[in-house]
Structure 1
Amino acid sequence: MTEATHDEAHEGTLGPRLNRLRAGVLGANDGIVSTAGLVVGVAGATDDRGALLTAGLAGLLAGSMSMAAGEYVSVSTQRDSEKAALATERRELREQPEAELEELTELLERRGLSREIAREAAEQLTERDALRAHARVELGIDPDDLTNPWHAAWASFVSFTVGALLPLLAIVLPPGVLRLPVTVVSVLASLFVTGWVSARLGSAGARQAILRNVAGGALAMGVTYLAGLLLGASGT
């Protein structure tokens, strides 16, 4: 196995896992920001622990269920598209095998193979499993590993919940005078970490990702806190 083939094999196996891990980190990030904004906004209006806990739990449950439902619908649509594409490819292989063989040859040529080698490879792949060959080379789909909407939904639910627990506990557990500073510091620190991790998993620059993440969280908490102050003042 050449070095290029070895790297490509590793990319094929690690790529989807890294994408799922990055999606989990981003889901946790959403849980942190949305719940922090909610509880900090409520803290601007009242320092009642019960009200903060109720608002935080409601935000956690609503957000996690919304994330799970949205991910389920999105991935279900993707899975349906993958199944339809495979069905079309299966029909084309049955009705026009020679044209499909030529198409596979051309696709392999575009990847850098010579015409002769591409034709030989296409023939061997077709003899072994024509549908699998076309699915992977032409469609970028693994027929044995279609996207699972239930896995995606549960992953989104769990990652959002984990992220949301941090600001919820930070606003509820400390004594009254420390609730807001503890929440702000813990949330910004967590956003620093999730920004760095998501950037590393996406092979992007960490500095800008961290700055965007932390600034966005700080802005969300600042705006909702001011709104809570105004609402609290108008209600007194």
Structure 2
Amino acid sequence: MTDTAHAEDHGGGLGTRLNWLRAAVLGANDGVVSTAGLVVGVAGATDDRAALLTAGLAGLLAGSMSMAAGEYVSVSTQRDSEKAALAVERRELREQPEAELDELTDLLEARGLSRDVAREAAEQLTERDALRAHARVELGIDPDELTNPWHAAAAGFVAFTAGALLPLLAIVLPPSPARLYATVGSVLAALTLTGWSGARLGDAPPRPAILRNVGGGALAMAVTYGAGSLLGAAGV
């Protein structure tokens, strides 16, 4: 395998892993914020442990199933698009192999290789596996590792559930006077971590991401707690 092909394989694998990690961080973040907002809102109306547990579990299950379904639909659509693009590429390779070889040469040359080296690399890659070469260089797709909607659904479900468990446990385990403080403190700490992690994975400055994350979560809890308090005071 040429150095170019090796670099494509390495880059593609790394990009896929980073995408999965980012999706996991975002899923966990959603679980933290949505469940925290729900249980804190209920806590504004009542301190009954059973009511808080019921609301938290309902939010966890609804959110995790919604996340899994959304990931499944999204990734299924992406997979269908990838398969369609591969089918077109397969037909073009069958019907006009010389034009496809020229195209691969042009793509490799555009990436910094000299014309002669690009031609030689294109010929070697074509002899080895023409479809794979065009899929990776032209489309950015690995035919052997198409996105799997079931994996995405499972990852979304697990990530959301992991995030949602934190505010759920924080609101039901401590004694009544400490529940709200424990929940708010643990949620803000978790949002700091997910904000930092998301920024690091995206090579972005962590401070703005953390501030956005913590600020959004704090606002969500303040709004839902206020609404719950009003409803509780009204006897609804």
- The TM tier, using the shorter chain, reads over 0.9
> Aligned-pair distance for 1:15?
2.5
2-structure distance, mates of 1:3, 1:97: 23
**Larger mean Cα displacement after TM superposition, 105-114 or 160-169:** 105-114
> Aligned-pair distance for 1:12?
3.6
Report if aligned partners of 2:8, 2:137 keep a CA contact under 8 Å in 1. no
Report if aligned partners of 2:2, 2:121 keep a CA contact under 8 Å in 1. no
1:100 aligns with 2:100: yes
Partner of 1:146: 146
Question: 1:55/1:195 Cα in 2 relative to 1: closer, same or farther (>3 Å)?
Answer: same
Counterparts of residues 77-226 of structure 1 (less than 5 Å): 77-226=77-226
Question: 1:6/1:23 Cα in 2 relative to 1: closer, same or farther (>3 Å)?
Answer: same
**Larger mean Cα displacement after TM superposition, 8-17 or 150-159:** 8-17
Structure 2 residue identity aligned to 1:20: W
CA deviations on 1:52-96 (whole Å, 9 max, x unpaired) are: 000000000000000000000000000000001000100010011
User: For this pair of structures, how many residues does the alignment match?
Assistant: 236
2-structure distance, mates of 1:89, 1:2: 22
Partner of 2:228: 228
1-structure distance, mates of 2:16, 2:113: 26
Report if aligned partners of 2:195, 2:210 keep a CA contact under 8 Å in 1. yes
- Please give the secondary structure, in 2, of the residue aligned with 1:160: helix
> Aligned-pair distance for 1:11?
3.5
- Please give the secondary structure, in 1, of the residue aligned with 2:152: helix
- Please give the secondary structure, in 2, of the residue aligned with 1:147: coil
Report if aligned partners of 2:191, 2:217 keep a CA contact under 8 Å in 1. yes
> Aligned-pair distance for 1:13?
3.1
For the aligned residue pairs, the C-alpha RMSD in angstroms reads 1.9
Unaligned runs of 5+ in 2: none
